[in-house]
Structure 1
């Protein structure tokens, strides 16, 4: 008699074979469908909000499964391609704001399945095409999204930002200034900070072409509504890095109707999620969709990255959709924020991960405007997102929006602007600006560069904690062109005073002559000198060239000091600068050692320290003016040793 074990095999007719995804923590085979199970022609539905707060189904059918996410820096990633055959999706095409919409497929044999019922999640609506003849969509597989969630750190992890983000922002701003042919007197502060931070050229601002949306990889943007096409065009070069796209919409983003009970709106698969970038007297928020909520409580969002930066901290909120705006180029959801409920904490190629009941602080911004048409001053209160890339842009945009709420500045105008910025670590920046013909975007060039320079540093996290802006619009152009400069005496002794007559032509007025006096030190070496006169752009350019060590940044305090130096320069002033070429001094780091004995200077210059450098000393003077000086001039003088006095 043979002995042994009897193995009883029970075969279920619809048994599902095990897949690699089953071993992934968070993957639930009863709720999620693995890539290995997906085949062409399988059918199902997606869920997304098209109006209000309730998700609605739309039909889908599988086209194919690609082994790599073409065009993304993510080797080994896969994408599922589907078609949306329903009338609604055929009319609108892929809609900005649908990113993250969960896609469900029915198992084979489910002939009686109803749209919006049953099925398992295969992933998120993530990639779409503009100007296509059919509605084809790329789906981010749910396994890859769950893997991203598994790498999330503690939500309270301190997130630091360095890199070249600040330089990138300034490069875009320089390109916009060049594209609009803005004069130096409007962009001098941007130019000075860009020069000190090593931004050598402007990033090209290329207008969208008809075929741009037909790239191999086109992650669906998260839409944000702004109230003019000009504002959308201005913002989009900055938002392009974030996965957010601005669309012009009358009234911009709008709050939900008063009959919506915000307390009853919850995050759910297929439900909307808002990304508040500005809240308060303006709602500027991107919007996307929740793909799934894991047993851990983690929310899987979008099916693609925002910045692809790993740990992150940005608020999320419930969201109301007013309607979908169907357009030929890119349909988008018009939506508004309801209530902040949590924060995004992790950002990868495959998904953004968020958690509820975790709040991140936002930065208060107060903007006060004084306009000729207003009988009283108007004060706007906002909160902006705390993120090194978005904060500079949103802070500046809050000022722009406040000034243009009812109308643009009049044809002839000057904007007088006072700004106070408070940063973490007790650091502050103050500056006054006078911007003749500053237009609607003039304040941007004053606010954005300083914030971005501090926010993106390689030493420690620095956060904008408070911003106060006071703007007065005056109905006159406070600008004067420099016409001519003459001197009463071009040969002087050291210790004497140079008297110069500066002729300027104020806008639409007869020329005016200002007399200025430039004192020459008694110890000024004899020789020929060139004195350059002009506005703050001329002053800063001359000093940066003569004192390159000012750009040597060794810690965040050095950086703050450098920005303060630029901030203190004034638009409504005439500057005179003369380099003392015969007097070369030594600087150790950023510390200047003027008039150092030659023997000691020689010792320092022969050291091997890279912190030691030479610079050219200069004379400088500032003269108050009732307008901004456009242009520059130079005068030549000869200086001799002072004669002995009896």
Structure 2
């Protein structure tokens, strides 16, 4: 037998409950201040923070205007971020934060109690939290990052002073969160998406492989750039703000939320972007196109707009931006020819040692990837010029062809990145790099070849005579070709045996550019000399290996050094400024092969 139970709730009662619940929530939201208090309102003392306080936070969910959301303080975690680095634990309340959760890009959202700035929402707790619980960086820790932070505090002297630790005398015991129940590994800075606009997934993978661990979530194409678009709305606490690592035809941007603003500067994020310390990155306004909720990874989709200054500090507790300052950027131009329509890529890259070389490399890779004429068999001839203030121009390049290891566009990008890094990362460089110009010719052929064999036309030679070296070259999927190279031997050769090296350019570079003891860096001038003297990788070289000392000094190779001079140079060797080898490499001749050549062979001839 079936029984029915009358619980006394009619459908119209359910409708009324929903209506009154929605009305109550709307009333709660409407009671929150629509805009954040002015910066002159002061700061909320950390030693007065306790469980049960209620405040309001501001962030942009869509558009450019910050929206308020309720915040309930759960407690204070002493030394949660390090000695003397406290964190306030809070629960975000309201329809939007409860729906989206703690969102990447929300870090820096200011929190106010009684109209005074408490700090910035900046840390997330756990990976799949069922509640929007977040950590707040106290404003006192953030102000340490600002230049003349004592002046900022003095300007708000009417407010109670900061205290990094709660006073036992003045403050009742906190019914605080039991810190033993919170694993420190579960407390981490809110994700900050590093958005690559105009990049393919392959370029993004290359960045992840070669860039330093910045602590940023690199994503491709989730956002846009409108650097020429004016955004009339002023930057206020709660506004979205972006730091650019690259701008122009390609863009790399990291976005967070502004915590504090005064006429000269702002503080944002509540945690570092890179924690490089002093930085110089363009600071732009930003529009939030949408906030994407996800239990795995919720984030804001951002469009960057007009530049308003430069970020100058990137520290543990905040990043600092200065209005009106211009960031140091390196202009990079990539011109691509060999196609029906020549293309040019114009970008500017941030001048930051931990970022710039990888950014240049990834930009070159993307420039070659996005061509309609790109195929798996395309080869690239690269010519690069780097202009350094106070030094002669640096020239390097070569031919890149597909291989079993990687496609040609990747090899071309790696070649540019490696050689640019040798100059950029030089510890002795004190002057800025003014520009980087890269010329690329796309060749719709697989231009790779192997040195198969080499021999002399005569086994016995005499000083001063001309002999012919015959080399067999096997192109990739092509007919074997024989190359004849006439060389004139030196007028003075000792009787006995002499060796000739027949090789590609990279083999010759390894012989003539011996690394210094302990891998110590050359100075800038020597590095430039070394880069400018690199051998082409699409030529075949014949080199005489003489049994006499060879010196490498300041990037220059001195062959057949007399023993008396070698003895004079010995003190430089002891000071690690000189490298001496027992055998000299004397260039004899070279011929173009017009393919990326690999291989080497040593010929031994008898001198009579």
Q: Structure 1 length as normaliser, TM-score? A: 0.73
Distance 2:125 2:542 in 1: 57
What is aligned with 2:88?
80
SS in 2 for 1:95: coil
- 1:52·1:322 contact (CA, 8 Å) conserved in 2? yes
Three-state SS of the structure 1 residue aligned to 2:526 is: helix
Q: How many residues align?
A: 530
For structure 2, the 5+ residue unaligned runs are: 1-37, 151-183
Is the counterpart of residue 131 in structure 1 residue 99 in structure 2?
no
Counterpart residue number, 1:176? none
Structure 2 counterpart SS, 1:399: helix
Other-structure match for 2:469: 500
1:100 aligns to 2:69 (yes or no): no
Cα pair distance change 1:506/1:586, threshold 3 Å: closer
2:143 aligned to which of 146, 149, 170: 146
Compared CA separation, residues 536 and 45, structure 1 to 2 (3 A): farther
User: Which of residues 360, 372, 383 in structure 1 aligns to 2:348?
Assistant: 383
Q: Do residues 421 (structure 1) and 408 (structure 2) align?
A: no
For residues 502 and 518 of structure 2, the distance between their equivalents in structure 1, rounded to whole angstroms, comes to 22
Query: What is the DSSP-based 3-state SS (H/G/I as helix, E as strand, rest coil) of the residue aligned with 2:390?
Result: helix
* Equivalent residue runs for 1:278-297 within 5 Å: 278-294=246-262, 297=264
Residue aligning to 1:487: 456
* Alpha-carbon distance, 1:505 to partner: 1.9
User: Could you tell me how far apart the structure 1 residues matched to 2:91 and 2:499 are?
Assistant: 71
Matches within 5 A, 1:565-604: 565-566=533-534, 569-580=535-546, 582-585=547-550, 595-599=560-564, 601-602=566-567, 604=569
Task: Point out where structure 1 has 5 or more consecutive residues left out of the alignment.
Answer: 1-26, 108-118, 154-212
Is the 1:421–1:466 contact (alpha carbons within 8 Å) kept by the matching residues of 2? yes
What is the RMSD computed on CA atoms of the aligned residues?
3.4
Instruction: Report deviation, 1:471.
Output: 2.0
Q: Give 1:69 shift.
A: 4.1
- 1:202 maps to none
Secondary structure of 2:423's aligned partner: helix
Partner of 1:348: 315
Gap change, CA 1:544 and 1:283, over 3 Å in 2: closer
**CA distance in structure 2 between the aligned counterparts of 1:586 and 1:77, rounded to whole angstroms:** 55
Match of 2:174 in 1: none
Q: How does 1:6-405 map to 2 (within 5 A)?
A: 30-70=41-81, 75-104=83-112, 106=113, 119-128=115-124, 131-134=127-130, 135-150=132-147, 216-218=187-189, 220-226=191-197, 227-249=199-221, 253-256=223-226, 262-294=230-262, 297-370=264-337, 372=339, 375-405=340-370
The residue aligned with 1:513 is: 482
Q: Secondary structure at 1:148's aligned position in 2?
A: coil
> In 2 relative to 1, CA 591–282 (structure 1 residues): closer, same or farther, beyond 3 Å?
closer
**Does the CA contact (< 8 Å) of 2:289 and 2:302 recur in 1?**
yes
Quote how far apart the aligned CAs of 1:287 are.
1.5
8 Å contact 2:104–2:190 — kept in the other structure? no
Aligned pair 1:446/2:415, yes or no? Answer: yes
- State the shift of 1:348 in Å: 1.8
Match of residue 442, structure 2, among 456, 466, 473: 473
Secondary structure of 2:83 counterpart:
coil
Q: Which moved more, 1:128-137 or 1:337-346?
A: 128-137
1:637 CA drift (Å): 0.8
SS of equivalent residue, structure 1 residue 262? coil
Structure 2: distance between partners of 1:607 and 1:255: 53
Partner of 1:162: none
- Give the whole-Å Cα distance in 1 for the aligned partners of 2:491 and 2:210: 52
User: Aligned partners of 1:220, 1:378: CA distance in 2, in Å?
Assistant: 36
Q: Is the 8 A contact 2:527 2:555 kept in 1?
A: no
Pair 1:79–1:242, CA change in 2 (3 A): same
Structure 1 residue 264: Cα displacement: 0.7
Q: Is the 8 A contact 1:392 1:448 kept in 2?
A: yes
TM-score (norm 2): 0.77
The answer for the alignment partner of 1:193 in structure 2 is none
What SS class does the counterpart of residue 603 from structure 2 fall into? strand
Deviates more, 1:550-559 or 1:40-49: 550-559
Higher relative contact order (CA 8 A, sep 6+): 1
Deviation at residue 477 of structure 1 after TM alignment:
0.5
CA contact (8 A) 1:366 1:379 kept: yes
Deviations 1:148-193 (A, max 9, x none): 214689xxxxxxxxxxxxxxxxxxxxxxxxxxxxxxxxxxxxxxxx
Deviation at residue 316 of structure 1 after TM alignment: 0.6
Alpha-carbon distance in 2 for matches of 1:631, 1:82:
62
Q: What is the distance in 2 between the residues matched to 1:628 and 1:332?
A: 47
CA contact (8 A) 1:494 1:639 kept: no
1:94–1:129 CA contact under 8 A, matched in 2: no
> Is the contact made by 2:452 and 2:472 (CA closer than 8 Å) also made in structure 1?
yes
Compared with structure 1, are the counterparts of its residues 138 and 471 closer, same or farther at alpha carbon in structure 2 (3 Å cutoff)?
same
Cα gap change, 1:359 to 1:600, in 2 (>3 Å): closer
Equivalent residues of 1:367, 1:399 under 8 A apart: yes
